[in-house]
Structure 1
């Protein structure tokens, strides 16, 4: 039952306050990794929707060392909050896809930078070998650590269609092993992938809620120039539903949140790609503006996280 002063959903800033008595900001890094579905191990060309330029800031360049990227990132944010502390966010491509010694060197270089108080490591579910997980389990006892898996969808047919190169079963296994090692475990999903209906997407929330996820990011499907998916859209636009009406996407997000386990922390609802790369949907809204509209609509609907969640364990 919803109480008047109850939060609408678990917000990420409040989650961070459990771990830090000061403001923290993630700084994105490009550590020079690739992906197994780019280098031929699992496939070629990467995920059909992916263009890594969409989330790499200007300071994020592979010719710069980890330390240099972090120092430049700090300069970018420090003018606003001089007392800010930072999380090194290994974001571009698959950040556990290398030899163990190489990974250790990069993670530890990041942690050696003044003001860096932890790591967020973005990766794929099929790139977490036991040897690395054992190292991360030790590291987790020394610093803040969040491992974020690209889940994208729980539907195996969709995963094949977007060339992910792994199954949902691999996702469940990786999340369970990581959380079972005492490491905070996050997920990332894309709402609106081709072939998935509103009901399919909402049902996904219940499926994900069975996993021991601490955090979740959801993003709208964006068509990005230069991707295979953009070419597929040109050939068969009827296969896609791009949520050009922002209010329709807001209703989907709220339905999804209502079906999620109440304790999962929600980091974001949308992604913003550079306008020069974005084909659709282009709502012209900043992330905070979109979030304000979600919150307003949730209040109008009497919605809150977990309202429709059914615990299968009960």
Structure 2
């Protein structure tokens, strides 16, 4: 049968990030990852120490080139790498590491200012947390969104407060809901991160995470498997007391079921991910991201399903 999904130019049965970017900007758009050397409130003692148990000492910025260099050096270096593949592409300045609104409005303003006036940049994306977005910060970011599109990426991982506490996330689900509500009254774009195979979560729990988030006024979602890194609190614990992890087939089954309960208008920014080679414990299949994505496509065709299908039958 023909693809039943409306955003189907790339023959996917879900609303891909690439389709959104091509449609909005009429060009190839790539992310340029940056480390602004912030920290997180669950690292510096404000609400905890050590960070999220799964997170490395680089705050999810392990793969950023020249991560210890000034931001302008990082940007030009990483931009050059991306432009080698897509010479005429546009960029999203992606502040990926740590919590990029965990500071004063003045600090964040100084960080962003150089990137607001670069012609090749079409948007700015800020990885952050729900408990690090004051009304003043949101007002400022909403103001600068008149110059560039601003994406706020919220690291939620799970809607289950008990599991979030075991991960040392440092804030509860109600805080997340209140922040999404405040953000929804602005022009800011909201992307939520979910992580599958967290210790203690069942398949049904993972699907419920996607369903609950999908009912909120958000624009996009990122989903990937938990990857366990050696030099993390979770990694050290796992080596002492291993817990069950999803294998590739189970992960694909969960992701397809999550897509089925996500409304069609929500952009799927990613469906897989991996850690640093040599640092990740097990789950080697995650490094074959193209295969995983292709197998998700095949599973959706085999099940004759698409993003939002379950919602259409309710």
Picking from 199, 205, 217, the partner of 1:200 is 205
Taking the aligned partners of 1:4 and 1:271, their CA distance within structure 2 comes to 26
Deviations along 1:120-158, one digit per CA (max 9) or x if unpaired, are 011000000011100111111121111110011000101
Alpha-carbon distance in 2 for matches of 1:156, 1:5: 36
Q: Gapped runs of 5+ residues in structure 2? A: none
- Output aligned runs, 1:47-62, within 5 Å: 47-51=52-56, 53=58, 55-62=61-68
Aligned match of 2:87: 82
Segments of structure 1 that go 5 or more residues without pairing to the other structure are none
Residue 180 of structure 1: SS of its match in structure 2?
coil
Which string of whole-angstrom CA distances, capped at 9 and with x for unpartnered residues, describes residues 37-91 of structure 1?
A: 00000100000000154643352413x2211111001111112221111110001
- Normalised by the length of structure 1, the TM-score is 0.93
Matched, 1:213 2:218: yes
**1: CA distance, partners of 2:17 / 2:230:** 30
Partners of 2:67 and 2:200 in 1: CA distance: 35
Q: Deviations over 1:193-248 (max 9, x none)?
A: 111111111111221112111000001011111111112223322xx2212x2111
- The answer as to 2:25 corresponding to 1:20 is yes
- Answer whether contact 2:35 2:61 (CA < 8 A) is retained: no
Change (3 A) 1:147 1:60: farther
**Which aligned pairs between 1:212-231 and structure 2 lie closer than 5 A?**
212-231=217-236
Distance 2:313 2:188 in 1: 23
Name the CA distance, whole Å, in 1 between partners of 2:272 and 2:89. 25
Distance 2:289 2:117 in 1: 31
Deviations 1:254-274 (A, max 9, x none): 111111122111111111211
Could you report, residue by residue, the CA deviation over 1:138-193 in whole angstroms, capped at 9, with x for unpaired residues? 11112111111001100010110100000011111111211221211110011111
1:1-314 → structure 2 map (5 Å cutoff):
4-6=3-5, 7=8, 8-51=13-56, 53=58, 55-62=61-68, 64-237=69-242, 240-243=243-246, 245-283=247-285, 285-309=287-311
User: What's the TM-score once normalised by structure 2's chain length?
Assistant: 0.93
- Would the aligned equivalents of 2:99 and 2:127 in 1 still touch at CA under 8 Å? yes
SS in 1 for 2:309: coil
| Deviates further, 271-280 or 84-93 | 271-280
What is the root-mean-square deviation in Å for CA atoms of aligned residues? 1.8
Q: Distance in 2 between matches of 1:35 and 1:155?
A: 21
Secondary structure at the counterpart of residue 284 of structure 2: coil
